[in-house]
């Protein structure tokens, strides 16, 4: 389950950034640069196919490992195959933990660089206006009318601009920390 969650979220983040860059008219070199940053293009392809095997075909990568005292080191599967089984992928890492460390380093840096280049780590770009929040409350089908009116009154009693700026700064700080770029 942990491998499933890790690889699904890792490549989900990669695809999210790549899709955003494409739809915003960027050049589309994000994936190419990411593959090159792995040092071996086969490793990125292996990671993507390992994720596909885990998520779509129920592959369990933890089938083999070595014990080092109290720690079990899961081996990278020697090969993973494409859905049709006609392509075989290998990687240069021995253990899944080593592969994950490389993935974290490379992917986090690439995402950070892409967000920085687009000025998306500027807290001023993330501030939600009071009008946007009021509109979201009004349009909510899940929020009862009593809760809507309470929320609207509460917003009138606070310094929304200050709160919005603080929340934006906190979100950026947390994102940078998650990407290892504090």
Q: Is 39 left (phi over 0), alpha (psi -120 to 50) or beta?
A: left
Write down the number of H helices and E strands in the chain.
Answer: 7, 4
pTM > 0.95: no
In 47-174, at which residue ranges do the beta strands (DSSP E only) sit?
65-68, 71-74, 80-81, 88-89
- Say if residue 107's pLDDT is above 90: yes
90: nearest Cα among 104, 76, 74: 76
Distance CA 151, CA 159 (A): 14
Extents of the domains making up the chain: 1-119, 121-182
The model's confidence at residue 108, banded by pLDDT at 50, 70 and 90, is very high
- Say if residue 43's pLDDT is above 70: yes
For residues 47 and 11, is the Cβ–Cβ distance under 8 A?
A: yes
The model's confidence at residue 142, banded by pLDDT at 50, 70 and 90, is very high
92: nearest Cα among 104, 81, 76: 76
Q: Mean of the per-residue pLDDT values for the chain?
A: 87
Burial of 53 (0-12, 13-18, 19+ CB in 10 A): buried
Number of alpha carbons in the 13 Å side-chain half-sphere of residue 140: 17
Q: Give pairs for 124-133: CB < 8 Å, separation 24+.
A: 124/165, 124/168, 126/168, 126/171, 126/172, 127/164, 127/165, 127/168, 128/164, 129/164, 130/155, 130/160, 130/161, 130/164, 133/160
pLDDT tens digits along 57-104: 888 877 787 888 888 888 888 888 888 888 999 999 999 899 999 999
């Amino acid at each position: 389950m942990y491998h499933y969650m890790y690889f699904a979220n890792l490549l989900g983040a990669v695809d999210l950034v790549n899709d955003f860059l494409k739809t915003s008219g960027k050049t589309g070199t994000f994936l190419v640069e990411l593959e090159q940053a792995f040092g071996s293009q086969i490793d990125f392809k292996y990671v993507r196919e390992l994720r596909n095997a885990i998520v779509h075909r129920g592959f369990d990568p933890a089938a083999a490992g070595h014990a080092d005292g109290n720690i079990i080191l899961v081996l990278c599967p020697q090969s993973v195959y494409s859905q049709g089984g006609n392509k075989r992928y290998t990687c240069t890492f021995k253990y899944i933990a080593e592969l994950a460390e490389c993935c974290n380093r490379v992917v986090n840096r690439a995402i950070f660089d892409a967000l920085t280049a687009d000025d998306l780590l500027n807290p001023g770009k993330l501030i939600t206006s009071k009008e946007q929040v009021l509109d979201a409350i009004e349009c909510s089908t899940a929020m009862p009318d009593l809760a809507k009116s309470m929320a609207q009154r509460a917003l009138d009693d606070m310094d929304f601009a200050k709160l919005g700026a603080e929340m934006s700064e906190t979100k950026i700080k947390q994102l940078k920390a998650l990407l290892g770029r504090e």
